[in-house]
Chain A
Amino acid sequence: MTTAAGSSEFYLAQFSAAENHLPGHDAPWATAWRRNALDRFRELGFPGHRDEDWKYTSVKALEKQPFDSVLEPSSHLALTDIERLIPAGVECIRIVFVNGHFSRVLSDTAAMPAGAEVSSLATKLRDEPAAVESLLENSPTVFRNGFGALNAAFMTDGIFIRLAPRTVLKQPIWLLFISGDQDRAITSQCRNVIVADTDSQATIVEHYSTTGGKATFTNSVTSITVNDNARVTHIKLQQENTTGFHFSEIDVTQNRDSFYHSHSVALGAALARTDIRVTLQAEGAECRLDGLYMGDGRQHVDHHTRIDHLKPHGKSTEYYKGVLNGNARAVFNGKVVVHERAQKTDSSQTNRNLLLSRNSEIDTKPELEIYADDVKCAHGATIGQLDDDAIFYLRSRGVDEALARNLLTFAFVDDVIRRIEIAPLRKQLEQTILNRLPAGTSLRGLVYNDA
């Protein structure tokens, strides 16, 4: 039997050479944690089509080629390279990772208020490993599937954020993860740990981009704890180019009366998968999950979300939209579980899809499991084409067919973009989307609703 060049064996073989370069290697608990993760990865391997959760997403293409871990930081990027990635006009706390390593030169943390502790996880593991031990060991995602386990074994860096009680961040923290190498295919494996303590409030952007060159494999895990009455807005931007393989797990734990608002905008990569899991483990917690995915060519984009309501008076609202063209394929799986004690839960879930071509495909599966008897839950999914009546109406006003289609497609998408509160980001995403529509530039001056 032949094995693919980038199969799980490749990573298993790489580990012993990598181990001593990975952060935390001199802390026994960290070494044990990584080895344990590696063992799990050995058992699990990469998910196959037999895994129910991966039925519509094949990772075979990822396994065809080996991706090297970059063990030492070496930034080849200049400030100007990254400045164009963050929309003009955004004032933020900028934290940049290049090929899985924090870059001090490219980061700007001047606006960080007292009360916010932000540091590279690698630094933390080197300097005070005990401080992150419990956070990593209790991290719920570690061994859920092969990707999570692989990340724990090979994780090179990531962000550690802790907001002290009542800390309010006026500027968003913009985490920029850039990957790419001219000479070899590389993997970036970051792990982020974010804790928002009581009454704190922050917006965190998790932004993935690639520089071009050889193929890239991003495998990230982010865990977020939103404590009592805290509010976290989390914007994930996936704008890798189409040589990218992107896998991302986001695990959120919410405490009493907390609010978590997620936006997942997936525009890039050849193959992308984002898993978001939110656990409302105390009373009165609310989460809102908004998402937009767009695919063209042969892109494949997958979102799996799961919301667990464990306690009463929780609320969840999910709103995902997708637009597919060419031979693109998307998967949406949204599961909401209302546990026995979660009375008075209010949950709604919507997934709407627009197929612009005959060969595009969406597999959508909203799932609702309810074990409590006094709840309000609704879910629904739609798949459709552009509305012929609307096209005719626009054409009857003199708008040509191509422009009418673009206007309607843009309107469909913008409905999600407009939920993002950072105005310059909204504008930049709108521009990006215009550029992706066929002759979308003809819409300039016709679609901005922002005064």
Chain B
Amino acid sequence: MLSIKDLHVSVAGKPIVNGIDLEVKAGEVHAIMGPNGSGKSTLAHVLAGRSGYEVTRGTVTYMGKDLLALSPDERAHEGVFLAFQYPVEIPGVNNIYMLKAGLNAIRRHHGEEELDAVDFLSLVREKMKIVNMDESLMNRSVNEGFSGGEKKRNEIFQMAVLEPRLAVLDETDSGLDIDALKSVAGGVNKLRNKDRAIILVTHYQRLLDYIVPDKVHVLAHGRIQRTGDKSLALELEKHGYGWIGSKAGAA
């Protein structure tokens, strides 16, 4: 589904990602772990199409298409979703109306009929249950005045509504207390299926107790240093990132 080859990315002229290769198949969950500044959030943003990130080398192919040639909204139409590390507050733009505009744009792209207000609302109610989101948040402005946990829940709720094929979750676990983490992780698990790939970008091993990945990659200095199964994450927890970083000098 996703094939990243020799990806190099610079931000403001400074190289951040220095040659990432990654293959993700439908149905897989990949965890990308790494210390601060390792390039993991940059990778997430590049996949979603944020401006300010310059790809200096390499390719990203998604469902046979050149992903980097698509605008952020075209990527969303094709089924790419980014759960933000820091969801943006947008005063005055209703959460539900934003989602309705997004979902209907995606449906139009696939030649499907747009949902009317009634069908959309019943869909929303059903999806809210997946993350135990409070209905009162439904008609609020996007993320405005939401607590940290509510914001992250809202991201997963949006994922549930938009039903992406490839979801990139950027530090969705950061800053959550254990109850919020459980309910967010529970939501993600309900959204796992054989057609959907999920990339979890995380700093902490804790998330992987609740969402068990198929593969774990350790990123440092802009390159994947190690790839393994979930036991790699446990090793990281035991030894910290230090032992990875020391090897990275060769990169």
Check if B90 sits within 8 Å of A408, measured CB to CB. Answer: yes
Of B49, B81, B88, B93, which is within 8 A of A389 by CB?
B88
- Bound-state CA distance A62–B208 (Å) is 71
Q: Which stretch of A7-15, A324-332, A441-449 is in the interface?
A: A441-449
Check if B100 sits within 8 Å of A397, measured CB to CB. Answer: no
Of B73, B94, B99, B142, which is within 8 A of A395 by CB?
B73
Q: Does residue A130 face the partner (Cβ distance < 8 Å to B)? A: no
Check if A396 sits within 8 Å of B91, measured CB to CB. Answer: no
Tell me whether chain A's interface is mostly helix, strand or loop, or mixed.
helix
Q: Does residue B158 face the partner (Cβ distance < 8 Å to A)? A: yes
Q: Does residue A371 face the partner (Cβ distance < 8 Å to B)? A: no
Check if B101 sits within 8 Å of A407, measured CB to CB. Answer: yes
Contacts A397-B102, A445-B117, A449-B94 given; does A388 touch B73 at CB 8 Å? no
Contacts A392-B51, A397-B158, A399-B73 given; does A447 touch B97 at CB 8 Å? yes
Q: Does residue B82 face the partner (Cβ distance < 8 Å to A)? A: yes
Check if B100 sits within 8 Å of A446, measured CB to CB. Answer: yes
Contacts A396-B81, A398-B77, A398-B162 given; does A414 touch B92 at CB 8 Å? yes
Q: Does residue B76 face the partner (Cβ distance < 8 Å to A)? A: yes
Of B77, B87, B93, which is within 8 A of A411 by CB?
B93
Which bracket fits the contact residues of A?
Answer: 20 to 34
Contacts A403-B101, A446-B100 given; does A398 touch B76 at CB 8 Å? yes
Tell me how far the C-beta of A231 lies from the nearest C-beta in chain B, rounded to whole angstroms. 28
Tell me how far the C-beta of B124 lies from the nearest C-beta in chain A, rounded to whole angstroms. 14
Interface size on B, residues (CB 8 A): 35
Check if B101 sits within 8 Å of A398, measured CB to CB. Answer: yes
Contact with A along B52-77 (1 / 0, CB 8 A): 00000000000000000001110111
Q: Does residue A390 face the partner (Cβ distance < 8 Å to B)? A: yes
Contacts A411-B92, A415-B91, A447-B94 given; does A395 touch B71 at CB 8 Å? yes
Tell me how far the C-beta of A327 lies from the nearest C-beta in chain B, rounded to whole angstroms. 26
- Bound-state CA distance A398–B90 (Å) is 16
Tell me how far the C-beta of B123 lies from the nearest C-beta in chain A, rounded to whole angstroms. 15
| Residues of B close to A410: CB separation below 8 A | 92
Best-buried of B50, B75, B88, B103 by chain A (most CB within 10 Å):
B88
Tell me how far the C-beta of A321 lies from the nearest C-beta in chain B, rounded to whole angstroms. 11
| Residues of A close to B48: CB separation below 8 A | 396
| Residues of A close to B87: CB separation below 8 A | 393
| Residues of A close to B51: CB separation below 8 A | 388, 392
Of A393, A400, A414, A415, which is within 8 A of B88 by CB?
A393
Q: Does residue B106 face the partner (Cβ distance < 8 Å to A)? A: yes
Q: Does residue B251 face the partner (Cβ distance < 8 Å to A)? A: no
Residue of A nearest to B109 (CB): A398
Of B71, B91, B139, B162, which is within 8 A of A401 by CB?
B71
Tell me how far the C-beta of B158 lies from the nearest C-beta in chain A, rounded to whole angstroms. 7
Q: Does residue A319 face the partner (Cβ distance < 8 Å to B)? A: no
Tell me how far the C-beta of B49 lies from the nearest C-beta in chain A, rounded to whole angstroms. 7
Of B84, B91, B100, which is within 8 A of A393 by CB?
B84
| Residues of B close to A407: CB separation below 8 A | 93, 97-98, 101
Can you list 23 A-B contacts with CB-CB less than 8 angstroms, sorted by A residue number? A387-B88, A390-B88, A393-B88, A394-B93, A394-B101, A394-B102, A396-B75, A396-B76, A396-B82, A397-B158, A397-B162, A399-B101, A399-B105, A400-B105, A401-B73, A407-B101, A408-B90, A408-B93, A411-B91, A415-B91, A446-B100, A447-B94, A449-B139
Residues of A in contact with B (beta carbons under 8 Å apart): 387-390, 392-401, 403-404, 407-408, 410-412, 414-415, 445-447, 449
Question: Apart from A398-B162, A415-B91, what 5 extra A-B contacts exist at CB < 8 Å?
Answer: A387-B90, A396-B72, A396-B76, A398-B102, A446-B94
